[in-house]
Amino acid sequence: MKQSLQHTEQQLLKTECGRVFDYIFKAMKLVRDEKHNFHVVYKTMSDEYIYSFCNPFLDTLATNTYKLISEDEAKKIFLPRLTSANAHELFTTAKASFALQA
């Protein structure tokens, strides 16, 4: 059995601006909004945020687009939809806007 994973072009995440990242991140969160859209954010090891969006009911086989966004943009999209624990993984000073449900 192979002891290491070989990277291929298909295993890399490429943003709209052309930056390429491997799939090792500090944090990654997926949330669904009220319109069934999926929002994904990746926090890189250098504290940058990469964002992707899709609607699985409307999207065809088109590839996902990934773009670099600011921490403020990431907070605007994700804080209202994350628990405090999940928000803290993504943002160092985060507080979720809703209470945890029992």
pLDDT reported for residue 71: 93
Cβ contact 40:52 at 8 Å = yes
Reply yes or no on whether the pLDDT at 61 is more than 60: no
- Return d(Cα 12, Cα 102) in angstroms, integer: 38
Reply yes or no on whether the pLDDT at 55 is more than 60: yes
Q: pLDDT band for 62, please (50, 70, 90 cuts).
A: low
> Which amino acid belongs to residue 94?
A
Per-residue pLDDT tens for 24-46? 888 899 999 888 889 999 999 88
Higher local confidence (pLDDT), 23 or 84: 84
pLDDT reported for residue 101: 41
